[in-house]
Structures are given as structure tokens and as C-alpha cells.
Amino acid sequence: MSHPEPRPLTLSARGPLRGTVTVPGDKSISHRSLMFSALAVGESRIEGLLEGEDVLATAAAMRAMGADVTRDEDGVWRVHGVGVGGLLQPQAALDMGNSGTSTRLLMGLVASHPITATFTGDGSLSGRPMGRVIEPLSRMGADITASPGGRLPLMVRGLNPAVPIEYTLPVASAQVKSAVLLAGLNTPGITRVIEPVPTRDHSERMLRGFGADLRIEDGADGKIISITGEAELKPQHIVVPGDPSSAGFWMVAASIVPGSEILIRNVCMNPTRAGLITALKLMGADISEIDAREMGGEAVADLRVRHAPLSAIEVPPALAPSMIDEYPILFVAAAFAQGRTVARGAHELRVKESDRIATMRIALEAAGVSTIEHEDGLTIEGSGGELLPGAAHIASKLDHRIAMSMAIAGLGARRAITIDDVSPVATSYPGFFGVMESLLVA
């Protein structure tokens, strides 16, 4: 998947933001809905699928391994699955583009099937280590040959039957947890994952919904998730709720731009994903949950966000797993708060699409924000609601969340902030800048 020509963008203070927005479908749930539907016997229907490049890479991979994946004109996706154990040998390398989620979860699927798959990706993904997934999958019997440093390109030769294992997660990672559980789907016996620190639980919820024998219990060392292999998944009708990570950009934008008031519809409120809302409320953000309800086994609500002065906090480290993707936009909120915010506990940011701690420190400092970099986060001296100096040129490092976060920062900058390349935003939120314009002129 070749990277498009760089698309620079320049922004400065505008506003207020007013109106209603429906964010794209949740990326984590979208990936899993395609994968699990491809493993069911029969036709599943998916509404609200995020049609960003990352999720489309998953759809292409499932087609390459035998599933019939189509999109109707009304936006509904239909997947005719091959059944657990029925994945076919792909005829070419699986190009994951920029999607770490696709790569790690699909490695788990392939690991217990009698097929061999080669995974490739763009420059950003190829720099991300896969060792944390390679280690447990190798214990299950998969033969994995990776590039130096455990990176892409890599080849997975699945073993069938694979070996069930009991695996304690050394780091809080929903992707590693999910990869082991997905390998366990086609492995005889019971595969167990012990999770000392809770992470997003979309895989567990959805696997149960598809009919997998999955049990969760509390143990001495954390949550024990057990899945019985050689499962038969039943097709489902899935409605994907709005992505809380995408909603986070508008929550912060409305919070920092005076006079703003927006309504964000159908946001997934899964407790393992709500860390940013909790942190922003601790800072004084005016966020109201409206019409709380359930959609496809997930808690959902509309969010009304009004401008409010933010105050610095020490972010509770326990929130990190439930907001790991939202740290970049939280850093932006901290840049406008009154006082010094300390946001730590996020070691995982070092191995995302970019080193998000270092990249955000450099970007914020270029925009006139005083920061201190830690191994696991940043300390940020806020402006107290004043405009940032701006006059900055920002390197997004091919990272969609860096590009979107600094675009929001630009809405509160006295002088222009120029982002070198916003084209990576298409990986998760293709309509982001169109939505921004619609909210600014409403």
C-alpha cells in the first residue's frame, strides 16, 4: 500500500465550533467485526463500519484468505465467512498499510491455521516491533520469521493443531490479548490469557456474541480469560458505534475554543475506552452524556460538549489503558489548561505509529508550549486558556493521531501552525477536515 503524496495543512485560531457530528464507526470494533464475521459460517451484516484505510486493509486480508466481503450501495457490509479453521492460503503478501491492529490480530488468526502468510506494511508500520505478539504465538507452535528487531516484513507459518497455552500479558495490550485468543479459536483445548491490567474488551464481548465459549473470571494475578477452541461461530448483524478516539478530537476542540457547543452522536462508552472523558472531566470539561443506551452489546451515548476553562491535573496512571490512543489529544488539552499537567503511565506510546511522546513534545514545543519529556509521558505547562504562540512547522511522522491532534491545537494558535502531511488521517478518519469546516461555519 503506497503512501500518497504529502498533504500539508496550515491552521490558526478560528471558531467557535457549533453543530452536530456523527463520528466514524469505532476502529477496534470495525476490525474485529470483519475478522469474526469471516470466521462464522453464513452471512453477517455490518452497519456503521469505519471505512478508513486501516479497516479496509483488514477487509482485503480476509478476502485474500477466502471470505466473501462486499459493500452494498447503502453502506452495509456483508461477509460470507469460511468458518473457524477454514482460512485459505493467501496467494500474495498481506499488505497491512499502517494498521498495527490488523497485523497483530491477523497474526493470531494465521498462527493456528495450516497456512503461511507474509505481512508487509508502510514505512511507519514496518518500524513497529511485533515481538510481543511473536512470543506467545511461537509458544503455540507458529513458526514466525521476522525482519531484524521483530519487525515487518514477517512470515507466519501456522500450526494445526496448535498448542493451547496459559499466557500472562507482560504489558497491557488488547492487541496481544486478542491475538492469543484468536489463535485459541482454532486450537484444541482451552487457551487462557491472564490480564493483570484491564484493557479494552471488544474481542471478548464480540466473540461471545458470535457464540464462542469464552469465560472470564478474577484470579490472583488479574483477570483470567479462557476460550475453548475449535469453535463454531454464528453469523451476526453488527451495528458499529462511534469511535471514542475520533470523538476525543471534537471534545477537546469544543473545550478549548471559546463559545463552542457541539453534540457528538452514538459514541461508544465502553468503560475500557472512556479514559479520556474521565480525564477531561477531572480537568473541568463540560461534557454531558445524553440518551445512554446499548448498541450491539456496547454502551453508547450522545455527548454534549461546551467550552469550559480547563485546569491542570495529574492524570491517574490507571486511566492509561482506557485512553492510550487519546494521549496525543489529551496533551493538547493540557496545553490550554491552567497550570502544569502531568500525564504519565503511557509507555505504550513509544511504539505506536510514531514515538508519540517524543513527537508530541517536539510539536507542542514548536507551537510555544513548555514541556518535560518522561519515559512514559509528558509534563505540560498550560496557557491558562490563552492562544498558543503558534508559528510552527510540525512533522506528523506519518501518524494520523499526531496530525489530527495538532490540527486541533491549530484552532487555538495565534499564528499559523503548519502540519507537514495530513494524508495519514485517512487511515482512521477520512472525513475529519470536512467535519472541522462544517463545525466552524455552522
175 annotated to bind ligand: yes
151 annotated to bind ligand: no
356 annotated to bind ligand: yes
Query: Which residues face 314 on adjacent strands?
Result: 342
352 annotated to bind ligand: yes
Cα 340 to Cα 263: distance, rounded to the nearest angstrom: 29
288 annotated to bind ligand: no
* Residue tagged active-site, from 54, 201, 243, 325: 325
Cα 332 to Cα 336: distance, rounded to the nearest angstrom: 7
Q: Sort strands 377-381 and 370-374 into parallel, antiparallel or unpaired.
A: antiparallel
- Three cell numbers written together for 296: 450491539
223 annotated to bind ligand: no
350 annotated to bind ligand: no
322 annotated to bind ligand: no
Of the candidates 65, 71, 66, the one whose C-alpha atom is nearest the C-alpha of residue 30 is 71
325 annotated to bind ligand: yes
Catalytic residue list contains 325: yes
In angstroms, the Cα distances linking 335 to 331, 366, 384 are 6, 12, 8
Determine phi and psi for 229, rounding to 5 degrees. -80, 180
311 annotated to bind ligand: no
List residues forming the annotated binding site for 3-phosphoshikimate. Answer: 27-28, 32, 173, 175, 325, 352
Q: Which residues are catalytic?
A: 325
List residues forming the annotated binding site. Answer: 27-28, 32, 100, 128, 173, 175, 325, 352, 356, 401
List residues forming the annotated binding site for phosphoenolpyruvate. Answer: 27, 100, 128, 175, 356, 401
